[in-house]
Amino acid sequence: MRAFRIAAYDAPPELVEFDLPPPGPGEIRLKIEACGLNFADLLMARGRYQERPEPPVTLGMEMAGTVSALGEGVTGLTVGDRVAAQNSHGGLAEEANVRADWCVRLPDDMPASDAAAFQIAYGTSHVALDYRARLQPGERLVVTGAAGGVGLTAVEIGALMGAEVVAIARGEEKLEVARQAGATHLIDARSLDIREQIKALGGADVVYEAVGGDLFTQCFRATNPDGRILAIGFASGEVPQIPANHLLVKNLTVIGLYWGGYRVHRPKVLTDSLAQLFRWYEEGRLHPRISQQFPLDRAADGLEMLRLRKSTGKVVVTVP
């Protein structure tokens, strides 16, 4: 089969052919139809992600397709089932072996491309805002990187949960995308007075922060007493340093979130969250935005879109 993989960390990914072994105990063989790309794939290729499987490694963390074989002991799934699956790697390929308990059946009318764009982006935002930050109706939610694949879902879910959403993104085009997803207020990330603009709106009750660097600092300083700050990621490449005395004086809470970590120590958090998200999708209340789709042999182009931050919404790789 064909797969887009790295032979060593920091080596350029290549499309190669190799034989995939049969699924092991508790695994299913997935015939992949689509794979969603994430900023974490870029970190994985450089060996800078939280998980570091031994190379060679096939990139791609979230995938959707059809079950084609069952490993020993698998129950609850059958050959022919359409499922979405999430793993730290393996999705940019024609097939993958995935743990059965990391698979979720798809709604009947959900295209594979939507499913591949759905799990990590919507799952991260829902677990962050609902399970971790306990976002309440009427609270003011500030979202950085608000037009990206994950940030856009935070805007959409935050609005769905009744929050007043402030979207921060770069440029009018991206801000318009965030407005269409439910943002009430728009701030250009290139502004020099982001802190002052947030405070003029009444300050932030919850901050969904995926960029890091100076933007984190400005949002941190604009957070109201008793506010919560979700550390989602550091797309700028700069991990912020948090002054603990400010946490004390303003009774702030900084909350870390690594969505994939729940797969191991509390998987029910993810399965319950995805069940709710799929219900909202079936009700027409969530609308995955796919900005670009690339075939498997152009997966490198999709990753470059992420690296240059040119996408608005998710980038998806399709597998014929």
Q: Which domains does the chain have, with CATH numbers?
A: 2-118+288-318 (3.90.180.10), 122-260 (3.40.50.720)
Helix segments in the chain, DSSP class H? 39-45, 112-116, 119-126, 151-160, 172-180, 194-200, 213-221, 244-250, 262-265, 267-282, 299-307
pLDDT reading at 202 higher than 90: yes
Mean pLDDT of 75-83: 96
Per the model's pLDDT, the better-predicted residue between 308 and 90 turns out to be 90
Amino acid at 123: G
Residue with the larger pLDDT of the pair 1 and 264: 1
Q: Which range is least confidently modeled, 168-182, 194-208, 303-317?
A: 303-317
Q: What is the pLDDT, as a whole number, of residue 268? A: 84
Among 113-122, 124-133, 256-265, the range of highest mean pLDDT: 124-133
H/E run at residue 28: strand 27-36
d(CA 216, CA 235): 11
- Amino acid occupying residue 80: G
**Residue 125 binned pLDDT confidence (cut-offs 50, 70, 90):** very high
| Mean predicted lDDT score pLDDT of the chain | 93
C-alpha pair distances (Å), 39 with each of 70, 165, 225: 31, 23, 31
Predicted local confidence at residue 16, as pLDDT: 96
- On whether the pTM is more than 0.75, the answer is yes
Average pLDDT of the residues in 89-99: 96
Average pLDDT of the residues in 240-246: 91
> For residues 200 and 195, what is the distance between their CA atoms, to the nearest angstrom?
9
